[in-house]
Structure 1
């Protein structure tokens, strides 16, 4: 994988508190990637109406604030890999923590990117081309993950295969492409840093692209440096 810049210099965001119900919709949208999809489904305005506390927004809509807080807390990801990286357990962790999360992350990021590019098309720092780039990443990642789940991972969970080196080599090669896409993502988002005065949607979008980048880097690391070497010849 090509070296990519890990997200830094992010615009400060309000950290999530233990009592999500008392935080504003805008604060939660920016601090918790994935929350925007939940708010959109429930028709809660986190952009223009982002200053409203979650508990008040729920009261106005007749929603159960406790149930919504429970749903939002479920979006906080457990990054802890198995203590003993037995291949089957590690594969299951990769699929649940990264594959399933990427599949949920990218469509929402694409939707927000299209909105930001349209609404702020006259802004000098609008991320032109970001939605298209995320579309390409989504297509290639979904294809890559389907090959892993359909061919390579079953081999690894079964203990390996004499020909396993070929699909591993192919996945490593595709990881290099993903690294190049991440480098381009850093360029398009100014290192995931929204401009001064950006709306909540723009800030949530860049918080989400930063999370995507971190997730994908860790995802590739676990495969390249932990999972795959156990099945490769020492000459690799």
Structure 2
């Protein structure tokens, strides 16, 4: 994919799904995107009483700083993806799945309980694990051996799988009511949602780095 345009007519769903840091910025502005994601940035900003121009400036700044610390050589970049994202996703999901199960079990009768969250997180864990193993065993070694230009087919599959992943993130956003904590949320519930915010932001940044940096450069090498 190409970078999602940050323009008044861009939908907030597209921004949250593809632009690193956008989800946090939108939430901070009081803009939810789990149900009203079809609104344009202009419409959502006006509805929330936020200056659209200022919001666009924040989003552009976030985009320009995304993955600024990533190395540009292939060995360094791939190692960065493996350590910063692959290993981190695995570690965090190992913590978040049982935490979600506990919150659903203890607070299942609460009107704002995130029912279905644990199931969605298991789906995300399985989706990411399958995807990352393919990258680790096939795609990344090929790129490191200078065969990136021959990997158009596998890269296309990886990009299609990224779309499936963002669909699961949207499902998590929906069952958690936009990651909105109730006033009486316990510590476990608060920790769960804090972890989900970081995980979601990381996954979007991970996908963005591959699709706007690693994949195009590999195909052109």
Q: What TM-score does the superposition give when structure 2 sets the normalisation length?
A: 0.70
* 2:149–2:219 Cα contact (<8 Å) kept: no
Alpha-carbon deviation of 1:197?
1.5
Give the Cα separation in 2 of the matches to 1:195 and 1:144.
34
Out of 98, 103, 127, the position equivalent to 2:85 is: 98
Count of paired positions: 165
Q: In structure 2, the residue corresponding to 1:152 is in which secondary structure?
A: helix
Equivalences for residues 124-135 of structure 1 within 5 A = 124-135=111-122
Give the TM-score, by structure 1 length: 0.66
The structure with the greater share of residues assigned to helix is 2
Residue 3 of structure 1 corresponds to which residue in structure 2?
Answer: 14
- Deviation at residue 80 of structure 1 after TM alignment: 5.2
Unaligned runs of 5+ in 2: 2-12, 17-22, 29-66
Matched, 1:212 2:199: yes
Shift of 1:107: 1.7
Is residue 2:209 matched to residue 1:222?
A: yes
- Which one has the largest radius of gyration? 1
User: Pairwise CA RMSD of aligned residues?
Assistant: 1.9
Deviation of the 1:162 alpha carbon: 5.0
8 Å CA contact 1:120–1:126 kept in 2: the answer is yes
Contact 2:149 2:220 in 1 (8 A): no
Question: 1:127-170 CA deviation, whole Å, 9 max, x = no partner?
Answer: 00000000011011001000000000001112224531111111
Greater than 4 Å deviation, 4+ residue runs: none
Deviation sequence 1:165-192 (CA, Å, 0-9, x none): 1111110010010111111111112222
